[in-house]
Structure 1
Amino acid sequence: MSGKRATPLRLGVLASGRGSNLQAIIDAIEAGSLAAQIVVVVSNKQNAQALERARKHGVPAVFLDPKPCAGRPDSRETYDRAILEVLQKYDVELVLLAGYMKIVTPVLINAYQNRMMNIHPSLLPAFPGLDAQKQALEWGVKLAGCTVHFVTEGVDEGPIIIQAAVPVLDEDTPETLALRILEQEHRIYPRAVQLYAEGRLQVEGRCVRVADAASDAARAIRNPA
């Protein structure tokens, strides 16, 4: 069901690096285009720039050191239970992975089924995993892009919410392609969260249906033009 929320959607963000997608979410909230509130940012890296971005905007920033969990047969699950305690402490409704460089376990996935999103720099299901831009260039694709999807146990296999495409240029390197894709990531991630906040996303098997979505079947992207 779609409708206006009485209170902002409570977001928890997991990040490991610079946090540019976190910043895009923050900017959208502050601009009034995203009806949400980031209530906590959690990182497995003490010096992650994402934590500094959170602090700058008055958002609680939590570093959870994975080292105490290392060496245990259930180390990943133990670490995710610690994350889950933080998310529950802050009453997080939707979890966002933003450059989070750890594979989440069923401990988190089951607790936030269809309530955890990730953004990946390819047009999934093509090129999952690491070095997606390099993979795209090696395969000679004409269009690359990014995907926001719900998180499941399979790496980058969850139901797709929204995608954006960019042309691949003959002179592209993985770095130049990544920069153009990143611009689109910053556009579509806040949009996906807003669609969730509006209650317009319905998961049906592997598909995500968007209520009241505009469509124009006569238009398409073509490259080369």
Structure 2
Amino acid sequence: MARQTEPSELDRILDAALPLAAFDGWSDDVFRRAVSAARITPEAAQIAAPLGVLDLLSHWSSRMDAAMVARLEAADLKSMKIRDRVTLGVQARLEAIGRHEEAARRARARLMLHDAGTLGAELIWQTSDLIWRSLNDPSTDFNWYSKRAILSGVYVSSLSAWLNDENPDKAKARAFLDRRIQNVMEFEKAKAGWRKMTADLPDPAQILAGLRYPRRRA
């Protein structure tokens, strides 16, 4: 039988904060109350989460990412088409929110404040990157970035649809995700066709690299 590990202090604070944040948002006061509820000393809380609620949001995102990766690792991906794999990845990440949808809505608002900086964008990119890596995506160079950028857009819009869909089965949100993935697949087909037509033309990435790093003259 696998040995269970004790939750970290950060996990304990996060678990205490989630129901509080659903009502009061991700504030410094909620952080202090969560620390008290988790029976963590202020000194230990400062070490575990020096950025307060922003560290909690980062940890929550990572925890949901881990749940998503576990779902993908347990799935029979080889028998699925690429669009179904990507859909499963996004859907698994959305389902990882579970009963904490109001806390997720509040988190989205909190990450838009100026002191959050680029944290929200970084967390979205991390999620998209993990989906592609879990699907063993072989892309490199420009494709590596473009796939993650496109999937980030799909995830953000699908998250909004998910949180706005009040039906337990999330039928509207799932249909929205299917449409977005279909749009991405159509884009990929168009991009592949464009590559065939421009196969003999200079690589724009090489041209840009040459402008940035010009060759030295002999």
TM-score past 0.5 threshold: no
Q: TM-score, normalised by structure 1?
A: 0.29
Q: TM-score, normalised by structure 2?
A: 0.30
The structure in which a higher percent of residues are helix is 2
The structure in which a higher percent of residues are strand is 1
Structure with greater Cα Rg: 2
